[in-house]
Amino acid sequence: MIKLATVSPCYNEEEVLEQSADHLTALFEELIRQEKISDDSVIVFVNDGSRDRTWEIITRLHSRNPRIRGINLANNVGHQNAIMAGMMTAKDWADAVITLDADLQDDYRTCIPQMVDDFLSGNDIVYGVKVSRKADPLLKRMSAQAFYRLQEKMGVNSIFNHADFRLMSRRALEMLAGYKERNLYLRGLIPLLGLKSATVDDHISEREAGRSKYTLHKMLGLALDGITSFSVKPIYYVIYLGFFFLLISLGIGLYVIHAFISHTEVAGWASLILSIWLVGAMLMISIGTVGLYIAKIYEEVKHRPLYNISQILD
């Protein structure tokens, strides 16, 4: 029997939170009856600086059912940091912590018991891997696929189609606590721990209520963190691009010499204007790429805390 904690980050989840809490509580009671998890297991909700009634609801749920605990973050720090806040707090409350989104889109009913089994058979980490994304809108599905492919190309070593639905042992969490980076990309970081892991198949469903809180802006931010935190390949590509342009310029040079010797006149406007804009664009992209890494270094060296906890209900 293990003492289990689930951690769910919540950002403006007033529409779905009560349902989620009910469903998780029901599952916990079933697992307690089956003597899989102990009676002092907890369900943790992290309020990520919501602007709606989310914290109010968590407070009420906690007063009705002490199994439900709440962590109130002082401001919105985003999904990854909110999960981190939850895991770092909950690791002192349980033997293993499962992170899952508050909207319960993951197949928690089948996956959580499997994750617990895998933990009991000696795995420190169990990844939930999405096997079908039928419930996701087409655009989200396509962008997610492109995102994983791009990461693979950039040499980021992450688990395909795994999105932070995962069990971690206390030992794994203690190790994770030693990674002090600010640009958190947990999916890339956790495989680096090198601990024994397993995967379970996760058939995701649609949100029961509310809308996705992952705006395009937030997704792009995550995608960038996912690459810049684990790979410097983009900088190499910039250098390769430079050599490629050098080759082209050599070709053009030969052509110019040839034109000079054979006294042919070369019309200039089109090729000049094109080169100026093309080279200008490439330079900006290149400087931007390097700049991005500098910006990430800037954020890392300041070493600001990832989150501030204003209240814990335990």
Q: Provide the binding-site residues for ligand UDP, judged by CB under 6 A.
A: 8-11, 13, 48, 76, 78-79, 82, 101-103, 105, 212-214
Whose Cβ is closer to Mg ion: residue 136's or residue 300's?
136
Q: Does 103 bind Mg ion (CB under 5 A)?
A: yes
Q: Does 225 bind Mg ion (CB under 5 A)?
A: no
Taking the complex as a whole, the smallest distance from the CB of residue 56 to ligand UDP amounts, in Å, to 15
Residues listed for the chain: 314
Taking the complex as a whole, the smallest distance from the CB of residue 160 to ligand UDP amounts, in Å, to 16
Taking the complex as a whole, the smallest distance from the CB of residue 165 to ligand UDP amounts, in Å, to 10
Output phi, psi for 144, to 5 deg: -65, -45
Taking the complex as a whole, the smallest distance from the CB of residue 300 to Mg ion amounts, in Å, to 29
Separation of alpha carbons 201 and 257, rounded Å:
64
Residue span 58-97 as binding mask against Mg ion, x where in contact by CB under 5 A, dash where not = ----------------------------------------
Q: At what angle do helices 233-261 and 269-302 cross, to 10 degrees?
A: 160
Whose Cβ is closer to Mg ion: residue 11's or residue 127's?
11
Q: Does 161 bind Mg ion (CB under 5 A)?
A: no
Three-state secondary structure call for residue 111: helix
Taking the complex as a whole, the smallest distance from the CB of residue 74 to ligand UDP amounts, in Å, to 14
Spatial strand order in the sheet of 162-169: 197-203, 125-132, 162-169, 96-99, 4-10, 42-47, 68-73, 309-313
In the numeric block, the tokens 């070369």 are attached to 266
Output phi, psi for 6, to 5 deg: -105, 145
Interface residues with Mg ion (CB under 5 A) are 101, 103, 105
